[in-house]
A = this chain, B = another copy of it.
Amino acid sequence: MADGKKAGGDKNLRRVTMADLARRAGLSKSTISRALAGDPRVKPETRARVEALAYEMGYELHPLASGLATNRTFTIGLGIPSPPRSFSNPFYLEFAGGVGDWALNQGYTLFFAQNEDILARTRGRRRTVATLADGYILTEPEVGDARIERLIEMGKPFVFLGSVRPGENSTWRSDDVVWTEADNVQGCKEVVQHLIELGHRRIGCITGSERHVATHNRLQGYKAALNEAGIALDHGLIEAADFTEEGGYLAAKRLLERRPDVTAIFASNDQMAFGALHAARERGLHVPRDLSVAGFDGIATLRYSTPQLTTAQQPIYELGQAAARLLIEQVQGRELAERHALFPCRLRVGDTTGPPRR
């Protein structure tokens, strides 16, 4: 009974608890708890006394204990992208910056959780604090995203980065889910329109993976632009990839191999566009003289790059802030004015697009 400490970092000082304060103050734990929580029922002078004592004794609220009792942790979880993308991809980090700035500012702690930890049928193994957040921000929505049923079942509020789309047997509708998004259809459409205006007719399209909602929306923008311009859709010009630079590189290579007649490539995100630039260079094609390349996203990494990539700018940081805002409002039980926050994209013409070679 000497010093009954557990594992963890404790050296030998026992943590000061409310019981200690109660003893020293000659009050009950409840009163201490109320005083510290600012409960109006406790007499102002008592509260002052307790606060002073707490400070003096170096007392600190134990968040786990408090959380266990109240079922709130004042934390929000941010889902991280799944492979082949990673935590540290530029788009994500910029988004996380917006989320983090907002959340911390509101007194919430932000943590990162693997998507699987949220879905987790953990079989009781594996510990993670992930299930404990007051709410979640999730990225990379998939068609018929299984996380949604799960989250609804958990009863925790959540926000998606990107609009969602139900699958065959989803029990929810897109409108029910709270999300924030830059208008992918409009943005991609503008990029492709820009290529068309330059005179391109055979425009390759590198898409993300089939299962992501964003892939479909971006492809839709591509198709819409062609359609409006009266250009027939040519499926041979569409090449699937995975939103990574490497994937974009490989896709562009395949495309250029198969269809040397393309005069422009629209990659549905900047990283793939960057990969496509590589592929073009490798084939000895000059950009934009021999081939135009355009992307989508407007990631900060490439904002100062040379050559300037033509792209549509998503307000990435603002999306992060909006996601955090929508989530925290829900967590605090406030009624949401709007369940969706849709931002426009802005076409940014750079040096990688020009008229097709004659």
Contact = CB atoms under 8 A, between A and B. Distances in A.
Interface of A: 6-13, 36, 38, 50-51, 54-55, 58-75, 80, 86-88, 90, 93-94, 96-98, 100-101, 104, 107, 109-114, 117, 120-132, 134-135, 153-157, 300-306, 308, 317
B63 A127 contact: yes
Contacts of A70: 6-8
B51 A124 contact: yes
Given A70-B6, A301-B301, A123 B306 contact: no
A124 B36 contact: yes
A88 B93 CA distance: 8
B303 A71 contact: no
Report copies per complex: 2
A19 to B, nearest CB: 13
Contact of A94 (B88, B101, B128, B155): B88
A297 to B, nearest CB: 14
Contact of A9 (B124, B129, B157, B317): B157
Contact of A13 (B114, B155, B157): B155
Given A7-B72, A129-B63, A129-B73, A51 B306 contact: no
Contacts of A7: 70-72
Nearest to A130: B109
A112 B113 contact: no
Contacts of A58: 121
Contact of A74 (B36, B68, B87, B127): B127
Contacts of A74: 127-129
A127 B9 contact: no
Given A58-B121, A61-B122, A67-B64, A8 B88 contact: no
